[in-house]
Structure 1
Amino acid sequence: MKILTFLLTLSLLAFLPDSSNAASAQEIDAKVNQALKEFYHHSPAGKELASKAAGVLVFPDVIKAGIGIGGEYGEGALRVGGKTAAYYNVASASVGFQLGAQIKSEVLLFMSREALDKFQKSDGWEAGVDGSVALVTVGAGGKIDSNTVQQPIIGFIFSNKGLMYNLSIEGSKITLIDR
């Protein structure tokens, strides 16, 4: 199992940008602002939830690619009180039948101060292990299931075309980065 994990990690490194291509804090903030604008436009219910959240973590461009072995990577910002509190990256690796690439945006809403504190105090946070994320599929009329809105962490995944779709973020590791 350790060998498989090592090989997956190595394969993921091929998808990570080198430091010369890493986004600056200003570039990440600009992309986060644009992603939030698109998110709020396509999900008024998501905008209302975000206004009630203790923290909003936004990954505007998560790139996923694979040929048998795949990986994904993206950089984003945690907003607390409407201001950037820290920068993070999200990464994962997978094995199985896969071919292609896609770009998606992810928004995680920490609905309680306790959930946000646990996330901020972690040394690398993994969805599904360190915290359960209730992924939202927006229904007819933009309504969100009432059971979902009571969860401590709510996630939205959408494309730059604005179409909401339900994908998994389980196993994605989120790590603090210095910008």
Structure 2
Amino acid sequence: MKFLTVLLASSLLAFLPVSANAASAQEIDAKVNQTLKEFYHHSPAGKELARKAVGVLIFPDVIKAGMGIGGEYGEGALRLGGKTAAYYNVASASIGFQLGAQIKSEVLLFMSQEALDKFRNSDGWEAGVDGSVALATVGAGGQIDSNTVQQPIIGFIFSNKGLMYNLSIEGSKITRIDR
């Protein structure tokens, strides 16, 4: 299974620009800052939740590409108290009917210290296995479902056009990287 994951990830890397694989800490931080501005613009309710979160994990550019075999990859930063504490990547692979590419941003809000500690102490954290992520949807008036707000980890997925729906980060592997 591990060989298949490596094979799928390798085929995904063929679709990505070289610069996407080697972003410096400064480049990641600049993209994270811009992504947070966009996130707060698209979701004032998300901004309020982010202020209450004990940690915020931001992936500015998660590139998803596929042609039968697909995958996604992105690099980002964990912010604690508004400052970068560590850098991470997110990756996943899939098999099935798919053709094309898209870029999205992901923001994960850790609402409890316990959820954040479990994430930080893991050696590769998988969404849906190591922790459940409640994806937020914004209803009328910009409000987030009250059940979602009470979850330990809340996720937002968006593009430059706004929040995206019917997407998932289940099965995505998040690993700490050195920058």
TM-score, L = length of structure 1: 0.93
> Corresponding residue for 1:83?
83
Q: Secondary structure at the match of 1:147?
A: helix
User: How far has the Cα of 1:141 moved from its partner?
Assistant: 1.1
Matched residue, 1:23 = 23
What count of residue pairs does the alignment treat as equivalent?
A: 179
Partner of 1:49: 49
Residues 30-65 of structure 1 deviation map (CA, whole Å, 9 limit, x = unaligned): 100000000001101000000000100000000000
CA distance in 1, matches of 2:42, 2:151: 21
Over 3 Å counting, the alpha-carbon distance change for 1:2 and 1:61 in structure 2 is: closer
Question: Aligned partner of 1:87: which letter?
Answer: Y
Task: Identify if the C-alpha distance between structure 1 residues 6 and 59 changes in structure 2 by more than 3 Å, giving closer, same or farther.
Answer: closer
Q: Identity of paired residues, percent?
A: 89
1:135 aligns with 2:124: no
Q: How does 1:51-130 map to 2 (within 5 A)?
A: 51-130=51-130
Q: Is the Cα–Cα contact under 8 Å of residues 65 and 100 in structure 2 kept in the other structure?
A: yes
| Cα distance between partner residues in 1 of 2:30 and 2:6 | 34
TM-score, normalised with respect to structure 2: 0.93
Aligned-CA RMSD value: 1.8
1:156 aligns with 2:153: no
Indicate the residue corresponding to 2:178 in structure 1. Answer: 178
- Distance between the aligned counterparts of 2:43 and 2:20, measured in 1? 35
Higher mean C-alpha displacement, 104-113 vs 11-20: 11-20
CA distance in 2: counterparts of 1:141 and 1:107, whole angstroms: 21
Show the counterpart of 1:8: 8
- Report the CA distance between 1:162 and its aligned residue: 2.1
2:156 and 2:163 in contact (8 A); partners too: no
Whichever residue aligns with residue 69 of structure 2, its letter is: I
**Mean CA deviation greater in 45-54 or 9-18:** 9-18
Quote the Cα distance in structure 2 between the aligned partners of 1:9 and 1:156.
24
